[in-house]
Chain A
């Protein structure tokens, strides 16, 4: 027996309180994880943060070479046997913060507790907060065998009594320089894909600004488990990576085979395998203008549209690992990054496609609605990181995503009818978004032992046809046919030790 898990073209109406909670849930779940820089490496090798990072956590090319070499300097100090036994390859991160989130057109009861009459208003939760903690255990097990174990502790509950969750963002072992060649490195476990610009190394940390939306984007109305769990390119995946590079990492490649399980432990979805590959070439720019890196990449993924089920006690549940009716989605693109001694300019373009069954959230063992098509979208961002000094970074980014072809036929009404605003009717621009972020990162001191940054930031995002913006059609999205605008004002104290 097959069950379509997610054919819900008309979901229950969201009461005002629930909408607020879902908004807060959205904000919390999507809160960027702490920075990925490791003062344990600084302590091991006696390097200041600025040795490997343009501004931590963003890597410079020396840091890329270090990472590509399996967290090794390629001298005789790499193997753990050279270290004093009191050395532990562990670092911890956290961000105490104050932030204000604001989102327009949030459905809200006109009279609190009375859901018969609603309107759309701006909601702006404000206050002090904490990001959670990441423990980064990483280094070398032996010469040319490197590892990461990265548990993170964060809250995913917006109730008064927070529930703190521990998960493993990364856990892998890598065999480096196989056969003595830097062109052959093999990694297995859960790891971040080799993206052209790592979101986990972004210099932005606010809820709306700490994300590269093109890495997460799926069109409005897509399969919700695909959207919620996979989160596109950015999700750390479970799989096997073959990678290689030349001596200065100006030429690099990465090929990954990953389980189509969104990085979830226990193989809960299907048994298919996704592919990701990227090739990068860099070159020097004359006149002390640094170097440029160009790359092309592609992700070819599959996702189930229905599961086998088991009914017990009148409750029908999908059976984990039986995902069937797999359909394809892809995200391909190109990047051009320019690193001058004081300034970094990132340009990333992504072209996404999604099979019509996924785009319409329909099981592949049934018919598609008339007029259904594969969904196609394009997006990208330009980011400028100017280093006034190694201890002061000015950051600006503009990002957009545009639907080129909706998978759901135009005119289709989706979502719950909103008393005040109606429901979303799919148009050509439904789900389009624009985002702008400005920030400063100031490192009051720079040592070889720990890190500290003060991080004020402002970000704003606007999207078409849906409210709650983030990844149009995501968790708390409200299909109210209105454009919405959301923003973050953020002040964080990012510490690492």
Chain B
């Protein structure tokens, strides 16, 4: 049997381990999301456990796995897919933001990206981590770039309430799609095969493909209509996808959202159903996109 004295020693050892496990005094960068305060020194331990393989110990996107993540890869079935390189945190350029183009994202933007992951890349969803650990990671990510010391996060753009879905809204959105030349990159049918598509590079010099709406996969920065609205009003910084905040009015933006949903052929959205119903009743009435 184990004596009580020995048990006491075991318990003391556990108590010692617990003391080591208690977080130390906070130092460095902080982040605040959902009322939680993240601390960078805790985030560093998490980063060194979960993230260093791709993003690298210095956060420059050059982890040991990065060389295997090519910008393009062939599946062997004649299809080319995009594998985004791991994010380099040093320039603090983030695609998914609620803030205007060129500004730093909010803590919540980075938190959401960690939580959601990027469906079409190797970046998984990290919702398995407790919320406070994800906030700690945000705090640590902010230590990689000096921009966080000299700049403040941008102010999130205002997203008005989504208007009711109507066929008029979809058809007007189609006109907007044509007018602002989304088709040049995304293609007339939204398949990511516009005339400019083969020439596109991101800010880091890697080839990049426009989003293929027909694939039906989630958008890079969310799934909802609000997310889609935000994407083209803020732009995806570091990519050729610009912000259209200066080119499109809010009501036009919602119309464009409604139309873009009709391009996601594999999703049974109400927008697609309404559009198909209208198309069946009005065959060959629409002017082809991308033609004068």
Contacts and interface: CB of A to CB of B under 8 A. Distances in A.
Q: Do A and B bind each other?
A: yes
Interface of A: 45-48, 50-51, 61-62, 64-65, 73-77, 81-82, 84-85, 247-249, 284, 286-291, 340-343, 345, 384, 386, 388-390, 394, 396, 398, 434, 436, 447-448, 462
A341 B20 CA distance: 11
Given A64-B128, A343-B17, A394-B17, A448 B64 contact: yes
B42 A288 contact: yes
Given A65-B128, A288-B23, A341 B50 contact: no
Nearest to A343: B21
Given A46-B53, A46-B65, A82-B81, A62 B129 contact: yes
Nearest to B26: A288
Given A74-B125, A288-B136, A342-B45, A81 B20 contact: no
Contacts of B48: 50, 389-390
A291 B130 contact: yes
Given A47-B53, A50-B49, A291-B130, A343 B18 contact: yes
Contacts of A286: 132
B77 A284 contact: no
B222 to A, nearest CB: 14
Contacts of B118: 75
Contacts of B45: 341-342, 390
A63 to B, nearest CB: 8
B39 to A, nearest CB: 8
A290 B14 contact: no
A62 B126 contact: yes
Contacts of A289: 21-22
Given A62-B50, A340-B21, A448 B65 contact: yes
A284 B130 contact: yes
A398 B10 contact: yes
Given A46-B54, A76-B120, 9 more contacts: A50-B50, A75-B119, A77-B122, A81-B77, A248-B128, A288-B133, A343-B20, A394-B17, A448-B65
Interface in B31-84: 39, 42, 45-46, 48-50, 52-54, 64-65, 68-69, 73, 75-77, 81
Nearest to A341: B45
A345 B125 CA distance: 26
A386 B18 CA distance: 8
A459 B42 CA distance: 33
A379 to B, nearest CB: 14
Contacts of A48: 49-50, 52-53
Contacts of B136: 288
B2 interface: yes
Contacts of A249: 128
Interface string B95-137: 0000000000000000000000111111111111111110010
Interface residues of B, number: 50
B1 interface: yes
Given A61-B128, A396-B10, A384 B17 contact: yes
A436 B1 CA distance: 10
Nearest to B38: A288
23 contacts: A46-B68, A46-B69, A46-B122, A47-B65, A73-B117, A73-B124, A74-B125, A76-B119, A81-B76, A82-B75, A85-B76, A249-B128, A287-B23, A288-B23, A288-B39, A288-B132, A343-B17, A386-B20, A396-B14, A434-B1, A436-B2, A448-B64, A448-B65
Interface string B267-284: 000000000000000000
A340 B17 CA distance: 11
A82 B69 CA distance: 13
A416 to B, nearest CB: 26
A51 B50 CA distance: 5
B21 A390 contact: no
B186 to A, nearest CB: 18
A45 B124 contact: yes
B107 to A, nearest CB: 16
Nearest to A54: B49
B224 interface: no
Most chain A CB neighbours (cut-off 10 Å) among B17, B69, B73, B126: B17
Nearest to B7: A398
Nearest to B122: A46
A62 B128 contact: yes
Given A75-B119, A85-B76, A342 B21 contact: yes
B180 interface: no
Contact of B46 (A47, A65, A341, A462): A341
A217 B42 CA distance: 41
B20 to A, nearest CB: 7
Given A398-B2, A398-B10, A462-B1, A75 B120 contact: yes
Contacts of B128: 61-62, 64-65, 248-249
Nearest to B13: A396
A440 to B, nearest CB: 13
A384 B13 CA distance: 10
A77 B124 CA distance: 10
A249 B121 CA distance: 22
Nearest to B16: A386
Contacts of A448: 53, 64-65
Nearest to B21: A343
Could you say which of B18, B20, B21, B52 has the most chain A C-beta atoms within 10 Å of its C-beta? B21
Nearest to A45: B122
A272 to B, nearest CB: 38
B132 A284 contact: yes
Nearest to B135: A288
A345 B49 CA distance: 19
Interface in B191-214: none
A95 to B, nearest CB: 24
Nearest to A48: B53
Contacts of B81: 82
Contacts of B42: 288, 341
The 10 A-B residue pairs with the shortest CB-CB distance, nearest first, are A46-B65, A343-B21, A65-B128, A386-B17, A73-B124, A48-B53, A62-B128, A50-B49, A284-B130, A342-B21
A247 B64 CA distance: 29
Contacts of B77: 81
Contacts of B7: 398
A75 B122 CA distance: 8
Given A75-B118, A343-B18, A386-B21, A447 B127 contact: no
Contacts of A394: 17
A50 B76 CA distance: 31
A447 B64 contact: yes
A77 B118 CA distance: 11
A61 B129 contact: yes
A398 B1 CA distance: 11
B75 to A, nearest CB: 6
Nearest to A390: B49
B225 interface: no
